[in-house]
Amino acid sequence: MNRSETDVDTRVPTLERFKWPKALPALSPRQQAIQDDFVEHWHRVLPERYGVIEKFNHGYPLRHLPGGKRWRTLELGAGIGAHLEFEPLDRQEYHCIELRGTMADALRRKHPSVATVTGDCQQRIPYDDGYFDRVVAIHVLEHLPNLPAAIDEIDRVLMPGGLVSVVLPCDPGLAYELARKISAERVFKAKHKMPYRWFVRREHINSPKEVLHEIKRKFKIFDRVYFPLAVPVINLNLCIGVTARKPLPASHG
C-alpha cells in the first residue's frame, strides 16, 4: 500500500465510465479532513491566482439569461459565493445549494440577501417542481457520484423552457493535465506534502462526455464554447461552457 508520511492511503480509485452511481472507496477521517480543507482553500486561491480562467468560468453563464424583467436562478455547488460577484442580482431572485456546511455559512455571511441551502443536489432539492427559470452549475457536475440523480432534480425544479448553464473542466484532457501540474497540483502538494492524484481522481469522477450525455438526456443543448482555443477538441482546451434548454410540453409544440 502506498502511504504518505501522514499515513493517508494515496491509491488512485478506478471507476467505470457511464455507470452510476459511482462507488468510491470510503474516505478515512484524515482523507476527509484533507479533502474538505483543500476544496475550501482552492475556492479562495483560484480567483487570486488564475483570474483568466475564472473570467471564463463565471462569465460564460451570463451569455444566455431568461427573458423578462425578473427571474429565479438556482446555483448548484455554490461554494463560498465566487460566482455571485458576476451575476446581475438586482434582476433576479437568487438561490444557492452547497454541500459543505462551513462553505454555505461563509456564503450566507458574505451574501445575506441570497437564499442559501445546505444540501446535496443529488438528493431532493428543497424546492417545488418548476420553481426556477434558470440553473447554474460551475465546475460541479464532474464531481457527482450519482450524476443522473442530479440531472433529474435539475429537470424537476426547472420550469419548461428554462435554462441550464454549466461549466466543465476538460478532464481528462492533455491541456488540462498540463495546466493542473502548475496550478492545483502544485498548491495541493505544497499544502499537504503528499501525492495529488488520489485526491483529484476522487474529485473529477465524471468526464465531459459523460456529463454532456446526461445533460442531453433531459435538455436540448444550443450553445457550447471551448476555452481557451475555441476549437471543439477536449485535449486542446481547459474548460467547456454549455447552455441547454428544458423542452416545452408537447402541447406547446
* Upper half-sphere CA count for residue 169 (Cβ side, 13 Å): 21
> Is the peptide bond preceding residue 228 cis, with omega within 30 degrees of 0?
yes
Q: Measured between alpha carbons, how far is 98 from 75 in angstroms, rounded to an integer? A: 9
Confirm or reject CATH 3.40.50.150 for domain 29-247, answering yes or no.
Answer: yes
* The residue to which cell 478506478 is assigned: 14
What is the model's pLDDT at position 188? 93
* Cβ-based neighbour number of residue 63 at 10 Å: 11
Q: Measured between alpha carbons, how far is 162 from 129 in angstroms, rounded to an integer? A: 12
Bridge partners, residue 135, by sequence: 74, 164
pTM, two decimal places: 0.90
Provide the residue-wise pLDDT of the chain in tens; the chain has 253 residues.
344 445 678 888 888 999 999 998 888 899 999 998 998 888 887 776 667 888 999 999 999 999 888 999 999 999 999 999 999 999 999 999 999 999 999 999 999 999 999 999 999 999 999 999 999 999 999 999 999 999 999 999 999 999 999 999 999 999 999 999 988 899 999 999 999 999 998 899 999 999 999 999 999 999 999 999 989 999 999 999 999 999 998 865 5
102 Cβ contact list (under 8 Å, min separation 6): 36, 40
What is the model's pLDDT at position 7? 66
3-state per-residue secondary structure call for the chain: CCECCCCCECCCCCCCCCCCCCCCCCCCHHHHHHHHHHHHHHHHHHHHHCHHHHHHHHHHHHCCCCCCCCEEEEEECCCCCHHHHCCCHHHEEEEEEECCHHHHHHHHHHCCCCEEEECCCCCCCCCCCCCEEEEEEECCHHHCCCHHHHHHHHHHHEEEEEEEEEEEECCCCHHHHHHHHCCHHHHHHHHHCCCCHHHHHHHCCCCHHHHHHHHHHHCEEEEEEEECCCCCCHHHCCEEEEEEECCCCHHHC
What is the model's pLDDT at position 142? 97
Of 139, 131, 159, nearest in space to 219 by CA: 159
Take residue 209 and report the three cell numbers written for it. Answer: 462526455
What is the model's pLDDT at position 42? 82
